[in-house]
Amino acid sequence: MVRGALGKVYKDGEDIIQQGKTGDSMYVVQGGRVEVVQKSEDGVEQHLAFLEAGDFFGEMAVFEKEVRSATVRAAGKARVLKIDKKALLTRIREDPLLAVNLLKTMSHRIRYLNAEISRHKETHL
């Protein structure tokens, strides 16, 4: 790890968060790329997305007391910054625009998932 650098470096294939585990932190990709995957009830793993520098994940755990809905792992070497709930809320108080940007990204993800569900329903009619 680079001296003075924030975040943690994960090796290719190393899990950052695991589906089904509880969490109270979100993460920001600082460098490299991570993969978001979800395991179905029958154990089949499905790729959901790749996230790159500037993208964030795990935010639902900060706002809800639910288990992680997906596993996120490094896709190659990746540097990721962990942000706990207290630090995030402090940062939002300092810069309310951060909350707006989080909501925009979350809204975009919901809109994308809604479109995917509609496409899935259309192909299975």
Q: Say how far apart CA 101 and CA 9 lie, in whole Å.
A: 25
Say if residue 17's pLDDT is above 90: yes
Say if residue 102's pLDDT is above 70: yes
How large is the average pLDDT for residues 1-9? Answer: 67
Higher pLDDT, residue 124 or 40: 40
The pLDDT tens digits of the residues spanning 40-69 come to: 889 899 999 999 999 999 998 888 888 999
The pLDDT tens digits of the residues spanning 72-87 come to: 999 999 999 999 989 9
Those residues with Cβ within 8 angstroms of residue 55's Cβ, 6 or more apart along the chain or in another chain: 28, 29
Q: Tell me what pLDDT residue 120 has.
A: 79
- Name residue 35's beta-bridge partners: 50, 73
Please state the φ and ψ torsions of residue 69, each to the nearest 5 degrees: -90, -10
Question: What is the pTM (predicted TM-score) of this model?
Answer: 0.81
Q: Does residue 29 contact residue 51 with C-beta atoms inside 8 Å?
A: yes
Amino acid at position 68, single letter: R
Those residues with Cβ within 8 angstroms of residue 26's Cβ, 6 or more apart along the chain or in another chain: 56, 57, 58, 59, 61, 62, 82, 83, 88
pLDDT over 70 for what percent of the chain? 94
Mean pLDDT of the chain: 90
